[in-house]
A = this chain, B = another copy of it.
Amino acid sequence: MIYLTKMQIRCLLSTKESYNSKVMNTIEQVSFKTKGYQIVNITDAIQEFVNRHNFVKGLVNLSILHTSASLTVQENASNDVLSDIKTFLSGLAPEYANYLHDIEGPDDMPAHLKTLLTNTNLTISVASSKLILGVWQGIYLCEWRKFGQSRSIIVHLLGE
């Protein structure tokens, strides 16, 4: 995936208003196999989905179907940023903090809280068949449980 520079985005966005009579309204489920405590860049996978459907312009709505994993748009250049995010959220929502809900393991309630503080859905615009993200932005799937698993995301294209 080619990230857009500021100049390129301006160029893409010089397209005229469109009033189309055909609306693409396509929904699919995409699954990702995660590792424990992983924040993984899924931008390329979402861009491939856009490409495969020849989606040119509109909204991509992403919904994660879990309550102990989440979505965020974050820095794509430095793995240290991702490590700092994990340390930060584990500091805010530590394990063994006298939670009432502890039957699913010490990492479960912290995972719900980290999900609360981030996102279960993101709505990204597409122009000229490309996800519109800043140069330093990527779309991330956050696995907040200790062990990896299969995580499902709904990808919904609404536009043209």
Interface residues of A (CB under 8 A from B): 6, 9-10, 13, 15, 17-29, 53, 57-59, 61, 63-67, 72-75, 78, 80-81, 83-85, 88, 92-93, 99-101, 109, 112-113, 115-125, 127, 132-137, 152, 154, 156, 158-160
Contacts and interface: CB of A to CB of B under 8 A. Distances in A.
Given A123-B123, A132-B65, A26 B18 contact: yes
Contacts of A66: 134, 136-137
B137 A120 contact: yes
Contacts of A18: 24-26
B84 A109 contact: yes
A25 B116 contact: no
